Amino acid sequence: MKEDYLRFEDEFLSPYAARSQNTRGRQKYIEPCPLRTEYQRDRDRIIHSKAFRRLKHKTQVFLTPGGDHYRTRLTHTLEVTQIARTISRALRLNEDLTEAIALGHDLGHTPFGHAGERVLDKMTGHFTHNEQSLRVVDVLEEDGRGLNLTFEVRDGIINHKWDGNPATLEGKVVSYADRIAYLNHDIDDAIRAGILKEDDIPKEINALLGVKKGQRINAFVVDLVESSYGKPEIIQSPRFGRAMADLREFMFEKVYVKSAAKTEETRAALMLELLYRFYEQNPLLVPGSIRKNAAEPKVYITDYIAGMTDNFALKTFNEHFVPKRWE
Ligand code: MG
């Protein structure tokens, strides 16, 4: 069974695809699985992790959304995975590797989206969610033992941001899929929230991509596949590259920075900053299971806060800062 699959990888995949048999390997050797390739095992390890389950209560753009139809970090991750797999399959790249990277890319994301990331960066001097995602899979999961993933999955996770340079084309596909996913679902959520109207989107962008969410995703995906097919790189046509940059700029201006969706962010950021300072003064209140993973308080406090869901951060803040009534 597995032999058939390995033969499929060998014979069918593009010469530029990563083959699971050629993996640079794991941090610690484990016996091969009789059924699954190494990348399929990594995908499964990520799906069964605690950090993956916590994504359901972490903000994407709209803070702990009350409405059931807004994206969370979990549904964002699933949309990225779907888009990345479609691209990967069309380019005959390794779909399993793509899937594992996409499912793991945001595991280190803080509560309250990028507001949380900025607070931890300010408090510690350096914090990025992609580096924290790698720390989650390398160290924090499985009670400090890490998930022991392959090099290619770990590389794709830490390099998924736009300025990253993944070693595999599968990693590059995830980086594009992340951007295609968030630009499109954030437009959809912003319209749902009444912050944007369909006709606010610049006409030139609509003319190229179409006006519906599905059309836009499809247009970006088809362009990326057509431009990259049979090549040792993942590229967009210049026209679509520009449209993506314009759309991103538009979203920064209308939604990510200035909109009404951001007013609560100031409070969320202040809350996380107070929590950070609280644990600096009371390091022993960080659970021992987290403290044991680092010598420096700065590191384990960051691990603890970055790992919190929005809900858990609110609950913890309430416990430490909000006076309780005498019952
Ligand atoms: Mg992402």
Q: How many angstroms is it from 129 CA to the middle of ligand 1? A: 10
How far apart (Å, rounded) are the C-alpha atoms in residues 268 and 252? 19
Q: How far is CA 212 from CA 70, 82, 133, 154, 209, in A?
A: 17, 18, 32, 34, 8
Q: How many angstroms is it from 274 CA to the middle of ligand 1? A: 26
Give the tens place of pLDDT for each residue, 122-138. Answer: 999 999 999 999 999 99
How far apart (Å, rounded) are the C-alpha atoms in residues 77 and 82? 9
Q: 284: left (phi > 0), else alpha (psi -120 to 50), else beta?
A: alpha
Helix axes 38-47, 95-104, angle to 10 degrees: 30
Reduce the DSSP state of residue 150 to 3 states and report it. Answer: strand
Structure-block tokens of residue 42 = 């990594």
The pTM of the whole model exceeds 0.85: yes
Q: How many angstroms is it from 22 CA to the middle of ligand 1? A: 27
CATH number for the domain running over 2-264:
1.10.3210.10
In 3D, which of 149, 124, 117 has the Cα closest to residue 136?
Answer: 149
Q: Ion ligand 1 — residues with CB under 5 Å? A: 106, 178
Give the tens place of pLDDT for each residue, 70-114. Answer: 999 999 999 999 999 999 999 999 999 999 999 999 999 999 998
CB 159 within 8 A of CB 130: yes
* 72 φ, ψ (degrees, to nearest 5): -115, 180
Q: How many angstroms is it from 100 CA to the middle of ligand 1? A: 13
Q: How far is CA 229 from CA 89, 91, 100, in A?
A: 11, 6, 22
Encode the chain (327 residues) as per-residue pLDDT tens digits. Answer: 789 999 999 999 999 999 999 999 999 999 999 999 999 999 999 999 999 999 999 988 877 777 889 999 999 999 999 999 999 999 999 999 999 999 999 999 999 998 999 999 999 999 999 999 999 999 999 999 999 999 999 999 999 998 899 999 999 999 999 999 999 999 999 999 898 998 899 999 999 998 887 899 999 999 999 999 999 999 999 999 999 999 999 999 988 887 776 778 889 999 999 999 999 999 999 999 999 999 999 999 999 999 999 999 999 999 999 988 888
Q: How many angstroms is it from 78 CA to the middle of ligand 1? A: 10
In 3D, which of 12, 172, 274, 207 has the Cα closest to residue 199?
Answer: 207
Q: How many angstroms is it from 256 CA to the middle of ligand 1? A: 14
Hey, where are the domains in the chain? 2-264
